[in-house]
Chain A
Amino acid sequence: MTSNWLLPALLVVPLLASVILLVAGRRAESWATWFGVGVQSVGLVLMLGVLAEYKRNMSGSMQLVVDAEWVPELLVHFRLGVDGISLPLIALTSLLGWCAAVYTVRRVPEPGRARALVGLLLLLQVGLLGTFMALDLILFFLFFEVVLAPMWFLIAFWGSGERRRAANTFILYTVLGSVVMLVGFLIVIVKTGSADMVALANGLGEQMSGNAQLAAALLILGGLAVKTPMWPFHTWLPDAHTAAPTVGSVLLAGVLLKMGTYGMVRIVVPTLPDAMVQIAPYLAAFAVIGILYGALASYGQQDLKRVIAFSSVGHMGFVLLGISTLSVVGINAALFGNIAHGIITGLLFFVVGGIKQRTGTTAFASLPRGLYASAPRLGFLLGFAAVASLGMPGLAGFWGEFLSLVGAYHPAVPEHLFYRVMLVLAAVGMVLAAAYFLRVLRRVGQGAASQATMDDVAADEWLSWTPLIALTVVLGLAPVLVFQVTDPAVRMVVESVAGALP
């Protein structure tokens, strides 16, 4: 195929751009942000190219595959590809990266240094896209790690409050997770003699003995669970979100967390099906605890960003619940939930960042009341994103959570009764989510405006937020746009698990 250069180009363009910014020196400060928008736009165009080349009727198999031997000593191939599981996430990453770049043009967070900021955002993009494209375990791990340093810098240098501590907690916690994951990968590689994710998923992984599968699956899941984050490994997240600058929070919640759940669907479920079937009920239990905990903890927070951070724990709980059913519906729901959460929470963090920029705070105690009155459009967007986030039918947030409950009603795993209980508890969590977001809206939105005037949504904000708003509505009304891509690939995954089911 001639269009195979598209995926490497998606990685090379931001990588080269960040090197250019590094080399350009201080004179780049003035044009760095525009340069960032340009590069992300090129990325978006390349992404459209990928979408055009992508054959929807062949969603179950890898497309646009690139394969070159890289480090034979470690069996590492530079192997990239895209299928129905990764395509939506790659598209989401490109889009959010573009939104963040546009947002940065006029809103470089303190202390400035736009060149470094844009360079790091581009580097982050390389890691995120690479993670979703990699078809080699070690390569996946490398891209997984590429993300860390830029995000650490983003939080530690452009953050606020206890940024340094939050940044360190973030990186040490997630590195511990990824090292654990690496050990799991190495077990798989040593036992099967291959790091090829496609071959492993197509039956090579199943050849491992039961104990080896279980050990590898526990380690890999443990590592990915830190990233997701799954309760009780979530403790790094609220601090990181609170301290991170707006674009950092958007990408953190919007894309970074998805690396964890993506890894589960891409690697653990198809490669280690026997172990996955054993672990699935426990995963479901952790997921549901996360849903309830996220909802309750959100209710208790005194800071807008922390509310959203804990709500993320809950939303990712639904994604995990979907995965744990190992059913076609459940995993589809998980993948949809990933995308929906990325879009909606991205938007939420943008809006909250906007509020913070205007008021200087996100703490309830010092936030002025009456946002609806003082800045009606901003207030509307907060309300819109919050309602979307709590799973209102007709908006994108609904399908992922609803269908993951449907999946839990018909799990592929035999423990039906257990999953029914989980279903009920998760549904309670959904209701609680409504409670905390309504509390936020009442606290921030309603009331007499204590601040007479506040700048409403500016043109550049509209520009960077509109795609997210539009997608929230479009995917809410036509979820099939995502499902038609994910479904064939998910069926392949579920098929590989089918043999492991009793």
Chain B
Amino acid sequence: MTIQSIDLMVLAPTIVVALGALVALIAELVTRRGQVAVGVGLVTLAFAVPFALAASGEQTLCGAVDADCAYVVAPLSVALQLIVLVSTAIVLLMASSDIAARRVPGGEFVFLILCSVSGAVLVPATNDLVTLIVALEVVSLPTFALVALRRGEPRAAEAALKAFIFSIASVAVSLYGIALLYGTTGAVSFNELAASTQASGPSPLATAGMVMLLAVVAFKIAAIPFHAWAPDTYQGATVPVAAYLSVVSKAAGFSALLLITWTFSAWSQVWAPVVAVLAGVTMLGGNLLALRQRLAVRLLAWSSIAQAGYILVPLAAVAGRLEWGPGVTNAVVGYLVAYAAMNLGAFAVVAVVARRTGAVDWADYRGLARRSPGLAVALALFLASLAGLPPGLIGLLVKVRVLIVPVGSGVWWLAAVMAVATVIGLAYYLAWAAQLFRQPDSEARPSVAEPETGSWTSIVAVAICLALTVTFSIAPSLALGLVDRL
């Protein structure tokens, strides 16, 4: 491999985002206005999108197509990068009013979030275990600071610490797994690993290494039993940061999982049952525990745990008669796209409502349809989508797309668990949606506090998510066929 043939253009999305992070930090220092940093952040993300789209077919950082290059872009990775970039833009819009109100420092916030994004853009294109772990850590480390970055909220530090400790533990386990894999196969590159898995069956050591490798993914997507940090951390952080964790950080986790499962697809009989158990426990546990939540953000935390369980289902079903391939990846990416739109939308509405009325409890949502009909209808649509109930068609269709995989490969118990989990999930989404349309309590709480400056940006965030959800519902192929279109 010759070092001079590096093709930096392929790496452009990451570079643009990283540079943008620096510019945002400096811009705020110079202008002393946090909003400027947000603007820089949005422009940066907008710039990164065409660079990401520019990659056509399969391209590597190392110029010519080199199977062992550390960075390889394929349509699948472009799709995941797009999810990350667009979702982050929506998160920035949501955060803008927190920044305007000086609840969080703008420059630092945008800097940290873009740093994290530069890693998230990297993850889906990594091509060896070391780069993968580094990229995942680039995603994680800034988020701990982001969680803690909330003025006058003592719980934020605790929340950050919780996420940090869980992260460290899971990364340590994964690194140990990588060491075992390297020890048994002598490879870290995905291609070499794939070749060696095809050459020989899984030895006990390699099996252990591979399963341990999954720990970091399970942490990132907050799969049960690696989920315990999520509800507390979401609650302690500001709403936009919670939204970021539940969508972008999770997307990075699934990117990593797709790469790992592809690499070890020859050994699917080993990891697929593990993923299947994770999926089943996560779907059921997430939904069951969400039933008891009455705080909006905590409920969304548990709901996003459950949703991660659904997204695991196609990969878990590889165990049966099914090969790892587009049939599986399209289901995962399709669900991620729809999930990004509907989940960010729900968080965006929660952010707006929390800012206007200080509402965190379900009871505060009572009569929202009377106070702000637009927000209520939007939230109802997002919740219906998450639940998989029309009119949230896209949420239903991606669930169908996911469910078809275990049915096709004959993993019946998983299909059954998913069916039951969906029904349980419906209960709390509906109960929340019902609150919106009930008559407001006459004297319970002040209905509308003064709308704050800057909250129009969060309304824009809601509007974008609403537009995306409706568009996807009318033309589901945009989500389900995203990879094929790139």
Contact = CB atoms under 8 A, between A and B. Distances in A.
B234 to A, nearest CB: 27
B404 A148 contact: no
Given A25-B373, A116-B437, A175-B426, A148 B390 contact: yes
Given A74-B397, A148-B390, A183 B426 contact: no
Contacts of B480: 71, 73-74
B408 A190 contact: yes
B390 A127 contact: yes
A187 interface: yes
B437 A71 contact: no
Pick from B400, B419, B438 the residue with the most CB of A within 10 Å. B400
Nearest to A189: B404
Interface in A149-167: 149, 152-153, 156-157, 164
A497 to B, nearest CB: 25
B453 interface: no
Interface in B463-486: 476-477, 480-481
A153 B369 CA distance: 14
Given A145-B389, A186-B400, A172 B427 contact: yes
B201 interface: no
Interface residues of B, number: 34
Given A73-B334, A145-B390, A183 B400 contact: no
Interface in A80-138: 111, 116, 123, 127, 138
Given A145-B389, A175-B426, A183 B373 contact: no
Contacts of A138: 400
B393 interface: yes
Contacts of A180: 419
B426 A172 contact: yes
A142 B407 contact: no
A129 to B, nearest CB: 14
B103 interface: no
A89 to B, nearest CB: 20
A22 B422 contact: no
A148 B389 contact: yes
B460 interface: no
Contacts of A152: 430
B427 A183 contact: no
Pick from B334, B404, B477, B480 the residue with the most CB of A within 10 Å. B404
A291 B37 CA distance: 71
Contacts of A175: 389, 422-423, 426
B390 A186 contact: no
B401 interface: yes
A22 B390 CA distance: 16
A418 to B, nearest CB: 31
Interface in B402-455: 403-404, 407-408, 415-416, 419-420, 422-423, 426-427, 430, 434, 437-439
A379 B440 CA distance: 40
B485 to A, nearest CB: 11
A165 to B, nearest CB: 12
B391 interface: yes
Contacts of A153: 437
A434 interface: no
B377 A22 contact: yes
Given A71-B480, A148-B389, A186 B403 contact: yes
Given A72-B481, A74-B397, A156-B434, A111 B439 contact: yes
Interface of A: 22, 25, 70-74, 111, 116, 123, 127, 138, 141-142, 145-146, 148-149, 152-153, 156-157, 164, 168, 171-172, 175-176, 179-180, 182-183, 186-187, 189-190
Interface of B: 330, 334, 373, 377, 384, 389-391, 393, 396-397, 400-401, 403-404, 407-408, 415-416, 419-420, 422-423, 426-427, 430, 434, 437-439, 476-477, 480-481
29 contacts: A70-B476, A72-B477, A73-B334, A73-B476, A73-B480, A73-B481, A74-B400, A74-B480, A123-B391, A127-B390, A141-B400, A145-B396, A149-B384, A168-B427, A171-B426, A172-B426, A175-B423, A175-B426, A176-B420, A176-B423, A182-B400, A182-B419, A183-B403, A183-B407, A183-B416, A186-B403, A186-B407, A186-B408, A189-B404
> A-B pairs with the 3 shortest C-beta distances?
A73-B480, A179-B419, A186-B407
Given A74-B401, A111-B439, A138-B400, 20 more contacts: A25-B373, A71-B476, A71-B477, A73-B477, A142-B397, A145-B389, A145-B390, A146-B390, A148-B390, A157-B437, A172-B427, A175-B426, A176-B419, A176-B423, A182-B400, A182-B403, A183-B403, A183-B415, A186-B408, A190-B404
